Amino acid sequence: MYLDYIDLGSMPYQEAWDFQQSKMDELLEMRNSDEYSKNSFAGWFFTVEHPHVYTLGKSGEEENLLLNHLQLQSADAEFIKTNRGGDITYHGPGQMVGYPVLDLEKSGLTVRTYIEKMEDAIIETLKEYGIVSGRLEGATGVWLDAKTKDKARKICAIGVRVSKFITMHGFAFNINTDLNYFNHINPCGFTDKGVTSLEKELGVKQDFQAVCKRIYENFKKVYGFTSVESRK
| Amino acid residing at 207 | D
CA–chain centroid gap for 79, Å, is: 17
The half-sphere exposure of 11 on its side-chain side, counting CA atoms within 13 A, is 18
Torsion, Cα 114 221 25 30, to 10 degrees, reads: -120
DSSP, residue by residue, 10-37: E--HHHHHHHHHHHHHHHHHHTTSHHHH
Catalytic hit among 109, 162, 172, 188: 188
Residue 212 annotated among the catalytic residues of the structure: no
Which residues partner with 46 through β-bridges? 6, 99
Helix ranges (H only) for the chain are: 13-30, 34-38, 69-74, 104-107, 111-128, 198-202, 208-223
Q: Could you give the residue numbers annotated as active site? A: 188
